[in-house]
Amino acid sequence: DAKTTQPPSMDCAEGRAANLPCNHSTISGNEYVYWYRQIHSQGPQYIIHGLKNNETNEMASLIITEDRKSSTLILPHATLRDTAVYYCIVRAALGTGNQFYFGTGTSLTVIP
């Protein structure tokens, strides 16, 4: 069952910020938001995750709305190597259910 909704594709100019939205209106209180990306012919790569506070790491920032019904992944300075499919996933912490659904994600193309 899909628990997240993402646009199928997006373009971003190289050097600009890429903002990838995700809707998760049915998210439960104990469910985290995770982002992964998959570059062609490779396995998915973990990017970032959060529960309710905004998070930042060396790869990206995650902005979660106050009601937690949506979030945005921000790649601050997109490069050509960021071209990939980006997956937004919601999942409960360990012990409360292990299934989760990647969906079809957003195909991000970074344009030179």
Torsion angle of the four alpha carbons 32, 50, 53, 25, in this order, in degrees rounded to the nearest 10: -40
Nearest to other proteins of 24, 91 (CB atom): 91
**What residue type is 66 in one-letter code?**
E
Using CB under 8 A as the binding rule, whether residue 25 contacts other proteins is answered as no
Backbone torsion region of residue 55, taken as left when φ is above 0, otherwise alpha when ψ lies between -120 and 50, otherwise beta: beta
Q: For other proteins, give the closer residue by CB, 34 or 64.
A: 34
**Which residue type, as a one-letter code, is found at position 23?**
N
Residue 36 or 68 having the CB closest to other proteins: 36
Judged by CB under 8 A, does residue 101 bind other proteins? yes
Binding stretches for other proteins (CB under 8 A): 32, 34, 36, 41-46, 49, 87, 91, 93-95, 98-105
